[in-house]
Amino acid sequence: MAEPTREDVDALVGPATPHFAYQIRARVRELVEDLPDDHPVRRYGEEQIERLDRLGHASSFAADGTHEPRSRIGWDTIPSSAPVSGTNE
């Protein structure tokens, strides 16, 4: 395999969403892990790994929020297919 480049890292990180941040972080880690510690692409990859970690962590706070009641306007139009709480309220 060719030596990874910044563009390779960007291709993985660019479309990252909170939902997939940790999976992408693992792929970036695998991409740069064999490079020397002082390699610029490895350092760049590690910066992006930290960024992905923050993105994934920030989205995890959504689980701490309140659940929307089924009485909310529009619920019957766009219902949740799997409420986190498992309740019908």
- Confidence (pLDDT) at 88: 47
Residue 37 has which token pair?
A: 């510690």
Tell which wins on pLDDT, 71 or 50: 50
> How many other CB atoms sit within 10 Å of the CB of residue 70?
13
Distances (CA, A) of 15 to 24, 27, 41, 44: 9, 13, 19, 17
State the chain's mean pLDDT as an integer: 81
Q: What share of the chain has pLDDT > 90, as a percent?
A: 49
- Confidence (pLDDT) at 71: 76
Three-state SS at 38? coil
Tell which wins on pLDDT, 47 or 88: 47
Average the pLDDT over 12-23 and give the result.
89
pTM of the model: 0.65
CB environment 14-44: b (16+ within 10 A), e (fewer)? eebeeeebbebbeebeebbeebeeeeebbeb
